[in-house]
Structure 1
Amino acid sequence: MSKNTQRPTDSFSGDDINTSANPQFDHVLQARLSRRNILRGSIGMAGMGLIGAAGLAGCASSAPMTPVAKALTSLGFKPVAKGMTDAVIVPEGYSAQVIYALGDPLSANVPAFKNDGTDEHFDQRAGDHHDGMEWFGLDEQGKPSRHGATRGLIAMNHEATTDEKLSSFFIHANGGTATLPRPTAEVDKELMIHGLSVVEMRKQGDRWAYNPASGYNRRVTTMSEAAIHGPARGSEHLVTRFSSDASKVRGTLNNCGAGPTPWGTYVSGEENWFGYFHRDAKDDTARKGDKQVQALNRYGRKAGAASRHGWESAGQADQYARWNNSATGASAKDDYRNEMNTFGYIVELDPYDKAQVLRKRSALGRMGHENVTFSPVEPGKPVVAYMGDDSRGEYMYKFVSDALWDAADASNRLAAGDKYLDKGTLYVARFKEDGTGEWIELSMKNPKIAGHAAFQFTSEADVAIFTRLAADAVGATKMDRPEWGGVNPRNGEIYFTLTNNSKRTAETTDAANPRYYTDKKGSKEQKGNVNGHIMRMAQAQPADVNFRWDIYLFASEAGADRSTVNLSNLTDENDLSSPDGLVFSKATGICWIETDDGAYTDTTNCMLLAALPGQLGDGDAKALKYGDKTVTTYAGKPQTPATLKRFLVGPKGAEITGICETPDGKALFINIQHPGENTAMADVGNPANYESQWPANIGYGAGKRPRSATIVITKNDGGLIGA
């Protein structure tokens, strides 16, 4: 999701809210093994045993899969140059086609999108800010098929909307209302453009098209009913006027990363949801010592905090009142003081079954979720999932199911989700100086949580709802915005993008977050971990509590100092900033890396890169000096254009995010989010002043307002993408 170095969302992005006293790193443990032995041990061979008939964390399929194809030894395309044109640029020999954009109808009864701000019926149209997505195959008869490669469903997040001064200005005729109270008609539209969509896609000849009349098409919005599952179900902290027994909630919000489960469903992370809520200035007093005041502060909603869009100002009706997170009634059953606690979860959707409501999986914790990715499943062993909390100074998590994997469950979809995701153990990561780490249990069994004086945990429900506070209690390692995770299908190693951290200082650098430097963007100086990095972790078995780590890739500008910043030796063919989306291809083993950048955008628009990942320990130690302080970190092998190269550059103002492929690896779907986001609201009526007019400028749809959209990339000779 959103970088948001430029947009108004900085004010509630969740960055800077972790003020816990946790050390930036574990400085206590002394290295017991040599670094060379740690990194060059037997993890590679141990990991190879995990593949089997795997349910991968990449985008290639929606059910347990066969082993990946033979590994590529080189990337088979000419790298795309950096650029700032208002277009999608792909390599020679490839074609990119827009197939599904903001406002496109999902019902035959909905009129075509006029794209002038007068359109309605967004509960039956594509939402805004296309983000994480996944492919779910169909056979030619329209039945679920994990092998379907020419017909299928894409389940997709609609994270947010391009906004300025409260209003989602591109979807309103005159830019909307930038003062409070907000008009109900505008708020009603904005409530509908968030959420999820499911849309049927089909290849016709050498072209792809979406089916606006498919019976599978579906929207889930902020108003759609959802069920709470896991330990938080029934908690007093989820009681609201809508659900006095805390069993159900409404909607999903600010969904970011996504992916498939091993049993063939779609899982999506709720990320910057807290910014949508308002709290009255005197709400701390009104709550009369409620421990939730501490939790509200930790999750970014201090008393008096203004909401992103002012939805609570649109009237007294329930759909507006729920966005006021203040204690205004006699009890929680009379108001929405707990409404914010109903967001921040991994949500699960069955894309094949519209009758099933969304399920919020509270056992996986409540945070600013990016995505969730799974280790390959093995019969008789637990299901293991990994997650990141995307804010500066937040943590990385792992969930291990109580239930042991049975391949027969793959056809049960949401029932399998109930079995494997509602009961288990949640862990948080601590990285150590010697290149090892540990997963620390977050439960009432851990005395540091059960006896935590600063916040009284009384149940597993408390741990599930106030996960950040539990992670604070056990001394987890603060990281530089953990975003997408992915698992390498060839050796089981786990990758996490750490997008950037403008608040990282020389004093707080540590082995896992080792860089602090100054970077120029025009005349402006940027400081911290400006460009981000990608962490790599390995375990002998997915459920193990110990791991080893190194830094696979240090993002950097090509011209930066190779001894202090450009530690991966990047060149003009593969330099990048702010890695965000990350998935592995089942068909080719390529690791696809997407950027959401504001630091390098004076030189290039955001991009997609293809990488041939190595193996943990293939590099060496690096020592970085900050005055009298020396930080030793562990870098993967230096990159070359043979192992990492730029595959795509996007339009102006756009983030490149959301990625999945057909099982045969011959069609790659990418989301282009918020093109033209730096346009001023005052210019909404003047297309000549739009930062971007994509995709209208290539002939897609009506009007000239920029639109988030899904593209499909194919190779002109019909071959594998990237090979």
Structure 2
Amino acid sequence: MSHHDHDPVFNTSNNPHFQDVLAQSLQNPARRGLLRGGLGLAGMAMLPGCATLTSGMAAAPNALGFPSVEKSLLDNVMLPPGYQYSVLHATGDALDSALAAYSNKGLESDDWSRRVGDHHDGMDIYYIDANGRYSEKDTGRAVLCVNHESSADAHFMHPNGQTSNRVSGKKFSQFGDWDLGVRPELEVLKEINHHGVSVVEIVKTPQGWRVKQDSPLNRRITAQTPVRISGPRAHIEAIRSFMVTRWDTAGAMARGTLNNCGHGKTPWGTYLGCEENWAYYFQTTAAGAALPAKEVASRKRYGVASAAPAAGAKKAASQGWHTVSSSDDRFARWNLAATGANAEKDFRHEANTFGFNVEIDPLAPNATPAKRTAMGRFAHEAAVCGIPKAGEPLAFYMGCDSRNEYIYKYVSTAVWDPRDVGGGLVVGDKYLSEGKLYVARFDATGRGEWLELTIADPRIANHGAYKFANQADVYVNARFAADALGATKMDRPEWGAVNHRNGEIYFALTNNSAANRTPSKTDPANPRAYMDLDGKKGMGNPNGHIIRFKEADNKSTAKAFAWDIFLFGAEEDAGDANLSGLTAKNAFSSPDGMWFSKATGICWIQTDDGAITDETNCMMLAAIPGQVGDGSKVTVKNKMVVGGVEQTGTQETFMGAALGEAKLRRFLVAPSGSEVTGITETPDGRTLFVNIQHPGELSKPLASGSAPQSMWPGNAGYGPQGRPRSATIVITRKDGGVIGL
């Protein structure tokens, strides 16, 4: 089950659905003219920006070159015939030879700051030339940066599971089910430090890529690593006022990064770790003064605890890190109570230091990472850079991964200069500290608009739900600013990806629940409301879909775009809900990770599913994409039971051309309980790096005495057996050929 399946909804704004947008369009004379002219999917060819982008790349293939992998419930990685995989590194592997090898029994007595983290997620590769500098060419030597998302199965890292705060016998879940006791210090240190990013040197050998232990480039960025708070010069002091804590009373520095899911790679060769579900690590205890109403509103909008759990409560939505019996502020920082005379005396603002993109220079181990506040604060899911063009600003596309949240774009003030490649964090200051932040509104005409998040907009300046003090407040409370502009609520925007052949941007909309999607609550961008035919695995939009858009004139600075839906996830026997015509060979659910191969043009789709896992484990598929507007307008027929009464309805939407089995095939099925997330490749397209996250996620706590749901990768010959581990795998063809063709 996806660890987001039971996420609460924090977006309670009254932003319009598409029916309202369409009604407003019909009342607007200018927009009526557009509608009369047929500007919908049929009119997209006339929309600026729908011309094909000349990229110098070969055309995408017409068909995939491997047979589809069958559905599987086996506890191993399943690949097409002729393909093979090996494990590059896994949770707990030592970065230094002086450190004991991982026991896989929870016996480690070190604090985990020199071991590979847990929950492998987004990642990218950075090649190193003969002078030790960043290279865009494969040199046989590289650094691999890997995100580590969460501590959902931290009990596997301790001898007998978590020895306090765990309710014995409960089914495992990511957060919650905690007794309000005191956590042991070493356990908490392990859990804090297996978050963040692993930076690991790898080298190409005759046997394939291998980790270089003891490399001076090997590094962990954890939830305790000092980071710099960066932002626009005109607003940085005001931004830092939100970050003031006892640890840094100036708010110029913060500690660490949490729950990094999707990632970004900059054109100049640095890594962006994106902080996603960071809000749930904090708690507020009973001791402390009442918070101002504005601060309570901000915490509520982001899902951060603003008050102590009710008296007698047995659950707390945190990891319990604040309960360690120590005056050490490594643990006190997780308590957001206003216990001091002011913010300089406690950690009431600690949560404000999270929710950003964190820039890391992989080849500069002494460089201090920077949190890029100009890109906004929310539940970041990937930061995808559009195709850079010399002399033009750069655009980064970002999702906010919670139900009914938004898609954002950041556009740099500085224009791209290819001479900045390899310039590190100094170049990052140039492009990521000064720029404009936008949020997307998807119109019912098949067009969309980017709305700037600026205090100069009276809708933001006079927003009733939250009173903004200045532009710094807009960056730190970007969700409220997006609410004020009427941005479009989406079905959990996950990863984004850029099609390098035409510049189009894709976003995975993983799923949504019945509370948010009924036949009366659909719209063109979220058009389905249905239930699984077996009646067991959810309803609403349980299988998700992928939306894509094309910027007007292919400009990073465009304010308008055209959009359609690329694919709908579904079981092959889902009836009217199976709009993409999926079969047993390519049925999928809950798209999450996405990535385009520059070598082949293949769009890789990875899933984090809880809807069809009764039939198959999570998977990775290969798709040959077309372009926005290559399909048609379709009518979606919806049916589901709401409150015991069957509801029906229809919804029109814009859908891309059907792919068929030749252009959409299942390439990989993962071990039991795992999610497939994170992918990169070598420039020749002959090696794929893929992450397998949280195998055995539905295991009961070790204290229950039950065997884990998964034994991978120990059962596949990597490392000690017994408990499951997240891992990065390396996939190749046995004949050395290009993958997927």
Distance 2:41 2:492 in 1: 28
Residue in 2 aligned with 1:513? Answer: 526
Do the aligned residues in 2 keep the contact of 1:149 with 1:662 (CA within 8 Å)?
Answer: no
Do the aligned residues in 1 keep the contact of 2:155 with 2:702 (CA within 8 Å)?
Answer: no
1:525 positional shift? 5.1
Map 1:607-626 to 2 at 5 A: 607-625=619-637
Three-state SS of the structure 2 residue aligned to 1:286 is coil
- Residue type matched to 1:513 in 2? N
Do the aligned residues in 2 keep the contact of 1:375 with 1:383 (CA within 8 Å)?
Answer: yes
Residue in 1 aligned with 2:204? Answer: 203
Do the aligned residues in 1 keep the contact of 2:264 with 2:385 (CA within 8 Å)?
Answer: no
Q: Does 1:583 align with 2:595?
A: yes
Q: Does 1:631 align with 2:631?
A: no
Gaps of 5+ in 2: 27-34, 166-180, 310-315, 639-646
Do the aligned residues in 1 keep the contact of 2:497 with 2:507 (CA within 8 Å)?
Answer: yes
Give per-residue Cα distances to partners, 1:160-202, cap 9 Å, x unaligned.
1233xxxx21000011223211111211111111110111112
Q: Which moved more, 1:636-645 or 1:602-611?
A: 636-645
Distance 1:198 1:213 in 2: 12
- Residue type matched to 1:17 in 2? F
Do the aligned residues in 2 keep the contact of 1:169 with 1:684 (CA within 8 Å)?
Answer: no
Q: Does 1:359 align with 2:364?
A: no
Residue in 2 aligned with 1:55? Answer: none
Q: Does 1:185 align with 2:186?
A: yes
1:451 positional shift? 2.1
Distance 1:656 1:140 in 2: 34
Residue in 1 aligned with 2:477? Answer: 466
Q: Does 1:98 align with 2:87?
A: yes
Residue in 2 aligned with 1:74? Answer: 63
1:642 positional shift? 1.0
Distance 2:630 2:528 in 1: 20
Residue in 1 aligned with 2:410? Answer: 399
2:714 to 696, 701, 706: 696
Shift in CA distance, 317/638, structure 1 to aligned 2, threshold 3 Å: same
Three-state SS of the structure 1 residue aligned to 2:428 is helix
Q: Does 1:214 align with 2:215?
A: yes
Residue in 1 aligned with 2:663? Answer: 643
Distance 2:491 2:511 in 1: 6
- Residue type matched to 1:272 in 2? N
1:537 to 519, 538, 549: 549
Residue in 1 aligned with 2:271? Answer: 266
Q: Which moved more, 1:490-499 or 1:235-244?
A: 235-244
Q: Does 1:504 align with 2:517?
A: yes
Do the aligned residues in 2 keep the contact of 1:69 with 1:586 (CA within 8 Å)?
Answer: no
Three-state SS of the structure 2 residue aligned to 1:123 is coil
Q: Which moved more, 1:500-509 or 1:398-407?
A: 500-509
Map 1:674-685 to 2 at 5 A: 674-682=694-702
Three-state SS of the structure 1 residue aligned to 2:25 is coil
Distance 2:11 2:658 in 1: 33
Distance 1:607 1:206 in 2: 26
Distance 1:245 1:38 in 2: 53
Do the aligned residues in 1 keep the contact of 2:527 with 2:651 (CA within 8 Å)?
Answer: yes
Three-state SS of the structure 1 residue aligned to 2:299 is helix
Aligned residues: 689
Q: Which moved more, 1:651-660 or 1:403-412?
A: 403-412
Residue in 2 aligned with 1:601? Answer: 613
Q: Does 1:127 align with 2:139?
A: no
1:413 positional shift? 2.1
Do the aligned residues in 2 keep the contact of 1:233 with 1:246 (CA within 8 Å)?
Answer: no
Give per-residue Cα distances to partners, 1:381-420, cap 9 Å, x unaligned.
1111100000000000011111111111123121111111
Do the aligned residues in 2 keep the contact of 1:554 with 1:568 (CA within 8 Å)?
Answer: yes
Give per-residue Cα distances to partners, 1:627-657, cap 9 Å, x unaligned.
6854210111112111110000000000000
2:25 to 23, 29, 46: 29
Map 1:336-415 to 2 at 5 A: 336-415=347-426
Three-state SS of the structure 1 residue aligned to 2:431 is helix
1:304 to 301, 305, 308: 308
2:74 to 85, 88, 99: 85
Three-state SS of the structure 1 residue aligned to 2:322 is helix
Q: Which moved more, 1:327-336 or 1:37-46?
A: 37-46
1:70 positional shift? 4.2
1:36 positional shift? 4.5
1:421 positional shift? 0.7
Residue in 1 aligned with 2:43? Answer: 38
Distance 1:150 1:668 in 2: 14
The alignment's TM-score, normalised by the length of structure 2, stands at 0.90
1:587 positional shift? 0.6
- Residue type matched to 1:228 in 2? I
Distance 1:350 1:616 in 2: 35
1:140 positional shift? 6.0
- Residue type matched to 2:411 in 1? V
1:146 positional shift? 1.3
1:253 positional shift? 0.2
Map 1:157-168 to 2 at 5 A: 157-163=147-153, 168=154
Shift in CA distance, 574/149, structure 1 to aligned 2, threshold 3 Å: farther
Residue in 1 aligned with 2:3? Answer: 4
Three-state SS of the structure 2 residue aligned to 1:411 is coil
Distance 2:60 2:117 in 1: 37
Do the aligned residues in 2 keep the contact of 1:156 with 1:196 (CA within 8 Å)?
Answer: yes
Q: Which moved more, 1:577-586 or 1:236-245?
A: 236-245
Three-state SS of the structure 2 residue aligned to 1:469 is helix
1:509 positional shift? 0.7
Residue in 1 aligned with 2:455? Answer: 444
Distance 1:241 1:311 in 2: 18
Map 1:646-685 to 2 at 5 A: 646-682=666-702
- Residue type matched to 2:574 in 1? A
- Residue type matched to 1:649 in 2? V
Do the aligned residues in 1 keep the contact of 2:50 with 2:550 (CA within 8 Å)?
Answer: no
Q: Which moved more, 1:402-411 or 1:603-612?
A: 402-411
Three-state SS of the structure 2 residue aligned to 1:238 is coil
1:209 positional shift? 1.4
Do the aligned residues in 1 keep the contact of 2:203 with 2:212 (CA within 8 Å)?
Answer: yes
- Residue type matched to 2:709 in 1? E
Sequence identity percentage: 48
Distance 2:68 2:703 in 1: 35
1:143 positional shift? 4.4
Q: Which moved more, 1:151-160 or 1:383-392?
A: 151-160
Do the aligned residues in 2 keep the contact of 1:661 with 1:669 (CA within 8 Å)?
Answer: yes
Gaps of 5+ in 1: 52-66
Do the aligned residues in 2 keep the contact of 1:193 with 1:221 (CA within 8 Å)?
Answer: yes
Distance 1:215 1:272 in 2: 31
1:517 positional shift? 0.2
The alignment's TM-score, normalised by the length of structure 1, stands at 0.92
- Residue type matched to 2:209 in 1? W
Distance 1:159 1:400 in 2: 26
Residue in 2 aligned with 1:58? Answer: none
Q: Which moved more, 1:702-711 or 1:36-45?
A: 36-45
Shift in CA distance, 549/684, structure 1 to aligned 2, threshold 3 Å: same
Three-state SS of the structure 1 residue aligned to 2:228 is strand
Residue in 2 aligned with 1:286? Answer: 290
1:307 positional shift? 3.8
1:542 positional shift? 2.3
Do the aligned residues in 2 keep the contact of 1:558 with 1:570 (CA within 8 Å)?
Answer: yes
1:108 positional shift? 2.1
1:152 positional shift? 1.1
Q: Does 1:147 align with 2:157?
A: no
Q: Does 1:137 align with 2:127?
A: yes
Distance 2:131 2:105 in 1: 38
Q: Which moved more, 1:704-713 or 1:132-141?
A: 132-141
Residue in 1 aligned with 2:501? Answer: 490
Three-state SS of the structure 2 residue aligned to 1:507 is helix
